Amino acid sequence: QVQLVESGGGLVQPGGSLSLSCVGSGDTFSKTNMAWFRQGPGKKREFVAALSRRDGKRYYADSVKGRFTIPRDNAENAVSLQMNSAKSEDTAVYYCAVDVQGSVYVDDDTEYDYWGQGTQVTVSS
């Protein structure tokens, strides 16, 4: 059974930066996709970013491209999300997720098998 634990959420001012971390346990992660999704108030859950260990690439939603990054120094069982130039619309609960099969559909939440408990990010002055 895979368990995911997120950390790093909190309050950030517009234009500010915040870093989220997710650490997994309970299985091997060498061929997985590890991703971040978010759900804002009154909104559906949406894809944010993913690290594919199948092809070694990072994928980003258009809404965060150029502002959010997944650093290149992640441990095999972990994924971080560096959030820069934060906007009010980034306010959401952020969830870490793992797809153990490493699907090509990295932005499809139905492909993900395990989820963290979520961490709140609030962008406000």
Cα–chain center distance at 42: 19
Q: Is the pLDDT of residue 12 over 80?
A: yes
List pLDDT tens digits, range 27-41.
778 789 999 999 999
pLDDT of residue 116: 96
List pLDDT tens digits, range 74-124.
888 999 999 999 999 999 999 999 999 888 899 999 999 999 999 999 999
Q: In the structure encoding, which two tokens stand for residue 18, read together? A: 């915040």
- Count of C-beta atoms within a 10 Å radius of residue 73: 6
Q: How far apart are CA 92 and CA 125, in angstroms?
A: 15
pLDDT of residue 76: 85
**27 secondary structure, DSSP code:** S
Residue 55 banded pLDDT, cuts 50, 70, 90: confident
